[in-house]
Amino acid sequence: MVKDTPRTRILIIYTGGTIGMIENPETRVLQPFDFTHLIDNVPKIKMLNFDIDNIQFDPPIDSSNMDPSHWSEIARAIENNYDAYDGFVILHGTDTMAYTASALSFMLENLNKPVIITGSQLPIGEVRTDGEENLITALQVAAERTSSGEAMVQEVAILFENHLIRGNRSSKVSADNFNAFLSNNYPDLARVGLDIIYDEDSLARDSSNRPLMVHDVMDPNVMFIVLHPGMTSSTLEYLLNTPGIKGVVLKTYGAGNSPSGEWFTGPIAKAIERGVVILNVTQCVNGAVNSSLYDTGNTLARAGVISGHDITSEAAITKMMYLFGKGMSNKQVEKYLQRNICGEMTINKS
């Protein structure tokens, strides 16, 4: 007797974003709308040969309003439905999608099922929408199996237009191009064209077989300090003395360089002595921090600033939130910032 293979089951988690928005007839601005409206605009979904269920944020939100409590809500939804589904598709606004993708990659430990995040630049009700294609492709990616029958993607990834990219390597690079997301320091997980061509060497594999563990506490007492010529010492001191601040992602120039004068290095060193953790991340969209290249970068390393190597800003800030959220001391946070936890950075020798 031929055994029936069970149908693939995918859960869509609709959080909001342009993909599901419609224009308010009075104000003419786009506002999030409910999932029924969204799915009614994708009749092709019925042609997919798998079972699809959905849950939605109530109310759906513009992703500019996303915060760590929403990330916890998504992570818990995945945890509560983990055994019942083969894969998850998260519909999300594009503005903070790279932050959510990075945050979830840390929050979902031992993930071995696909969590594919997508959205669109034009609402799904628009004639030229990119939302329909992105949604259908995300569902296909979430359902894809390898020749040995395991999930093709076993990590958090963003599917957008022609790219499937690792969530914690992604950045939004365009406010109006359909190809809005790129992974600047890591190969695409798949190229999406006529076919979806997976790069199996780049895909994460968790062979530990440990059960999914969700970490849903993120500590928001972290911040970016972005360097620019003309920054004053009073601005710098003010920011470093922000009440309650535990971690700073310092967005430096080029290969991790900063001004070398005492006005700059002094307050940085003092903040580190007070216990603030400072991570050096380059402002460049591509490449890595290399503190041994120039004296200006080396000064920071000597003061105790940690190298973020080629980590994105989005992954850096959410990694800090995650580590402090686990209740770690500043020394422990410094230790784990120097380690690659889930494919978010490539460690060089700097």
Rounded-to-integer distance, Cα 286 and Cα 268, Å: 25
Coil, strand, or helix at residue 312?
coil
Backbone φ, ψ for residue 191 (5° rounding) = -100, 130
Coil, strand, or helix at residue 317?
helix
User: Is residue 146 flagged as an active site residue?
Assistant: no
Nearer to ligand ASP, 97 or 345 (CB): 97
Query: In the bound complex, what is the minimum distance in angstroms from residue 29's beta carbon to ligand ASP?
Result: 10
- Cβ atoms of 86 and 115 closer than 8 Å: no
- Cβ atoms of 89 and 56 closer than 8 Å: no
Among the candidate windows 60-68, 150-158, 255-263, 318-326, which touches ligand ASP by CB under 6 A? 60-68
Amino acid at 336: Y
Q: By CB under 6 A, tell whether 94 contacts ligand ASP.
A: yes
Number of residues in contact with ligand ASP, rule: CB under 6 A?
11
Q: By CB under 6 A, tell whether 34 contacts ligand ASP.
A: no
Q: By CB under 6 A, tell whether 126 contacts ligand ASP.
A: no
Residue labelled with tokens 């849903």: 216
Nearer to ligand ASP, 121 or 170 (CB): 121
Nearer to ligand ASP, 62 or 237 (CB): 62
Sole binder of ligand ASP in the list 95, 133, 161, 216 (CB under 6 A): 95
Cα 162–166–169 angle (5° rounding)? 105
CA-nearest of 58, 108, 60 to 81 is: 108
Rg (CA), the chain: 21
Rounded-to-integer distance, Cα 295 and Cα 257, Å: 8
Residue labelled with tokens 């191009």: 177
Nearer to ligand ASP, 118 or 280 (CB): 118
Q: By CB under 6 A, tell whether 134 contacts ligand ASP.
A: no
Q: By CB under 6 A, tell whether 62 contacts ligand ASP.
A: yes
Q: By CB under 6 A, tell whether 93 contacts ligand ASP.
A: yes
Sole binder of ligand ASP in the list 27, 64, 147, 148 (CB under 6 A): 64
Question: Which listed residue (18, 118, 137, 252) is catalytic?
Answer: 18
Among the candidate windows 10-18, 38-46, 100-108, 311-319, which touches ligand ASP by CB under 6 A? 10-18
Sole binder of ligand ASP in the list 8, 56, 63, 100 (CB under 6 A): 63
Would you put residue 186 in left (φ > 0), alpha (ψ -120 to 50) or beta?
Answer: beta
Where does this chain bind ligand ASP (CB under 6 A)? 16-18, 62-64, 93-95, 119, 121
Catalytic center residues: 18
